[in-house]
A and B are shown apart, each in its own frame.
Chain A
Amino acid sequence: MKTLFQLFIVFAKIGGFTFGGGYAMLPMMQRELVENKKWTTNDEIIDYYAIGQCTPGVIAVNTATFVGYKIKGLSGAIFATLGMITPSIIIIGIIAAFISNFQEYEIVQHAFGGIRAAVVALVLSAGIKISKKSIVDAVTAVIFVAVALLSVLTDISPAVFVVIAGILGILIKGCKKDKVQKEKGGNE
């Protein structure tokens, strides 16, 4: 029960303080889930993001479901997911009910100018941390550069990149291993 409550609180904290959706949540997820609670690893988070790109639904919510399920099964998945969406429901409910033209207030716009700059830095810092274990050789470096460039320059869906990269991984790494094994076999 305590763990379920913690899952709810931690994901509510993440949902309540990140602006700009999925990727802006990366720094917060790293700090709370990997460094503070040790519920998951940087590797797993990047896997969850990759899977979240090619499964339906909101990426941040998918990650919450993954971590919650890993820690405490079905009820963990539900509590983590509810934690992630509760701040949105409350905040949007209040704004929709009481504040018309919320986004047009000058103070809101100034605050957002500052937040957007901070998010740039936080995403960069989280991305560097997470890339260390994912870009490990020439093949992964090429995949990284190709996906980054193509998704900036074209409108191709991220899901396509993820699926192709997965297939490439199977083909290239599979072939490499076969080769190594054959060479080993030849030497013996």
Chain B
Amino acid sequence: METLFLLAELFSRFFLVGLFSVGGGLATLPFLQDMGETTGWFGAAEISNMIAISESTPGPMGINMASYIGYQIAGIPGTILASIGLVTPSVVIIIIISNFLKKFRDSKYVNNAFYGLRAASVGLIAAAFYSVASLALFNSEVFSQTGSFFSAINYKSLILAAAVFVCTKFFKKLHPIFLIILSAVIGILLKF
């Protein structure tokens, strides 16, 4: 009975996180910190562990974080309930929005709004590109120590990124999964 209560609490707490965190994976972080403090389920050290693992495993970060915490609290059932709790609010909301869009697809206002939205969305992709690129290709620690921009560039990664980009242009049949696995192997062999 106690485990049932625990699982119900886990589900409903993650449901709330899913309902209020707007803007994807990392936006859930402040809510998770708050959850750790109010319930005493996990502390700051576990949170930083959780971020590291979520970033180094496949899948959406928010789901990875929920799965990890769910496991720490209540084992495998906890993993499943925390993840499902997190996604339930957004599934409901997206279905409502889908129906709205279907109804108003021909509306001038909706189409004009999307004309602006799409440009903003591509702008956000550019910003995401900047943050993944600066993380992967640039060593900010070296930069702050030496002050030299060029010695802080990670040339090995830069060459690999350029090679993968060329592959996406000239060998369009190559699947992204193949390129990711190949790059992981190169990373292991050349000690990236």
In chain A between 127 and 153, which residues have their CB closer than 8 angstroms to a CB of chain B? 127, 130-131, 133-135, 139-141, 143-148, 151-152
CB distance from B161 to the nearest CB of A (A): 4
Chain B residues with a Cβ closer than 8 Å to the other chain, count: 98
Q: Does chain A have a CB within 8 A of B108?
A: yes
Q: Is chain A's interface secondary structure helix, strand, loop, or mixed overall?
A: helix
B98 engages A66 (CB within 8 Å): yes
B115 engages A51 (CB within 8 Å): no
A120 engages B76 (CB within 8 Å): no
Binary B-proximity of A174-186 (CB < 8 A = 1, otherwise 0): 1001000000000
B120 engages A52 (CB within 8 Å): no
A-B contact pairs, 30 of them (CB 8 A): A16-B58, A17-B58, A21-B60, A46-B121, A53-B23, A53-B124, A57-B18, A58-B24, A58-B86, A60-B24, A61-B87, A65-B95, A70-B98, A74-B95, A96-B67, A103-B53, A114-B160, A114-B183, A114-B184, A115-B187, A116-B132, A117-B157, A117-B160, A122-B164, A134-B119, A134-B121, A140-B115, A140-B116, A162-B121, A168-B116
- A-side residues, CB < 8 A to B, are 13, 15-28, 31, 43, 46-47, 49-62, 65-66, 69-70, 74, 77-78, 81, 84-85, 87-89, 91-93, 95-97, 102-103, 107-108, 110-127, 130-131, 133-135, 139-141, 143-148, 151-152, 157-159, 161-162, 164-170, 172-174, 177
